[in-house]
């Protein structure tokens, strides 16, 4: 691998700011153990970019993002012959970067916006491109495309705004008496509620609209919760699946990050060979249908009759200590450091393919394949 200088981008303006920093700390630690030169770009809650070279301070869990920003130097995007990031106070300083690992979860990090900025700056980056990131961030778009591809998801209704919220009786008639209410484009179960009565339904709708402009109302599924880690570009592969065993009603934000006794992570999941093959093939079908590349975590339900139902897809899955993506690969024989190297290799491969794409229309004139006559 030719990569030496790695940028890890974290933070962001979304509700997952702190989780992003936890993920990035694990990634930075893994990279340092493999002797890469690592630099952190911390996006603050207002959207400003900060460049940090002090990895010891970054890895200190007692430093919050406000303290880390005080140790960093602010970046600015300079548009010239080629857009580049420069230090605001030292505009002539060249900041070397061979590849970027985005660890910004949620909105403006996982939804294609950050990926578009990195593409515009001509920087190789780990993970899905602009289109796939945007699609996978939207639970509605994900469901619609998977439905078109013949891949099963839980039945749902959509509220585009407060005036289009279906009444509770209609929801029960279409989806049953127990439903989940979710912001369409949020992660980490933020704003998600399990609803069993009309009072709870209206409360959940109001809360979900605080986090997004669209709200998904989804049928509750009685099933095991399985998470699949997919890795690769044109020829992706799937690790052994893991399972979330919840002690509470569902795998909520609290169960993930506050009270971890509410859920148990079982890696690898206790499944038959046939179940593993079915789950892995479904994850691959989802990955390809949504044009993912690099990595994704595909979350599935496995019912008692071995029906696989897709829950959601995360193109920048968590890399915290409890996160399933890397755990699944470690259970499959791929170490954390080797996983990071493979992810960066995927990023470089995609970048080189982009470099080969012809963008000059004059090349078409040379080939004679296009008729430009009036």
Structural domains present in the chain: 5-135 (3.40.50.20), 155-219 (3.30.1490.20), 222-355 (3.30.470.20)
Asked if residue 228 lies in contact with residue 239, where contact means CB atoms within 8 angstroms, the answer is yes
- The pLDDT profile of the chain, 374 residues, written as one tens digit per residue, is 577 899 999 999 988 899 999 999 999 999 999 999 999 999 999 999 999 999 999 998 777 778 888 889 999 888 777 778 889 888 888 888 999 999 999 889 999 999 999 999 999 999 999 999 999 999 999 999 999 999 999 999 999 988 889 999 999 999 999 999 999 987 657 789 999 999 999 999 999 999 888 999 999 999 999 999 999 999 999 999 999 997 666 554 554 545 556 678 999 999 999 999 999 999 999 999 999 999 999 999 999 999 999 999 999 999 998 899 999 999 999 999 999 999 999 999 999 998 887 666 666 565 555 555 55
Q: What is the β-pairing status of strands 224-232 and 73-78?
A: unpaired
CB burial class (10 A; 0-12, 13-18, 19+) of residue 312?
middle
Confidence at residue 15, expressed as pLDDT on a 0 to 100 scale:
85
Confidence at residue 263, expressed as pLDDT on a 0 to 100 scale:
76
pTM (two decimals): 0.89
Gap between the Cα atoms of 298 and 302, Å rounded: 13
**Token couple for 292:** 């993912």
Gap between the Cα atoms of 24 and 49, Å rounded: 15
């Amino acid at each position: 691998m030719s990569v030496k200088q790695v940028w890890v981008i974290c933070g962001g303006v979304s509700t997952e700011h702190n989780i992003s920093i936890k993920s990035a700390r694990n990634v930075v630690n893994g990279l340092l153990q493999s002797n890469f030169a690592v630099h952190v770009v911390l996006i603050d809650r207002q959207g400003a970019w900060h460049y940090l070279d002090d990895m010891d301070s970054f890895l200190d869990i007692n430093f919050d993002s406000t303290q880390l920003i005080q140790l960093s130097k602010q970046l600015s995007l300079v548009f010239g012959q080629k857009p580049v990031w420069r230090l605001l106070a030292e505009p002539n300083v060249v900041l070397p970067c061979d590849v970027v690992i985005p660890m910004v979860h949620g909105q403006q990090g996982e939804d294609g916006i950050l990926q578009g900025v990195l593409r515009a700056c001509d920087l190789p980056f780990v993970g899905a491109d602009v289109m796939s990131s945007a699609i996978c961030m939207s639970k509605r778009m994900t469901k619609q495309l998977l439905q078109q591809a013949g891949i099963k998801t839980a039945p749902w209704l959509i509220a585009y705004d407060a005036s289009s919220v279906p009444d509770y009786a209609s929801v029960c008639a279409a989806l049953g008496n127990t439903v989940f209410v979710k912001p369409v484009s949020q992660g980490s179960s933020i704003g998600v509620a399990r609803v069993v009565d009309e009072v709870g339904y209206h409360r959940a709708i109001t809360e979900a609209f605080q986090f997004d402009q669209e709200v998904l109302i989804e049928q509750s599924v009685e099933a095991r919760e399985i998470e699949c880690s997919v890795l690769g570009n044109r020829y992706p592969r799937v690790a052994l699946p893991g399972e979330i065993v919840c002690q509470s009603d569902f795998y909520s934000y609290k169960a993930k990050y506050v009270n971890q006794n509410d859920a148990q992570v079982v890696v690898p999941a206790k499944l038959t060979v046939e179940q593993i093959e079915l789950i892995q093939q479904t994850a691959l079908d989802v990955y390809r249908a949504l044009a993912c590349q690099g990595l994704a975590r595909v979350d599935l339900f496995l019912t008692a009759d071995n029906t696989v139902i897709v829950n959601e897809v995360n193109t920048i899955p968590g890399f915290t200590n409890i996160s399933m993506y890397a755990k699944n690969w470690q259970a499959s024989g791929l170490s954390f450091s080797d996983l990071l190297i493979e992810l960066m290799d995927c990023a470089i491969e995609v970048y080189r393919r982009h470099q080969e794409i012809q963008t000059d229309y004059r090349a078409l004139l040379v080939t004679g394949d296009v008729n430009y006559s009036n």
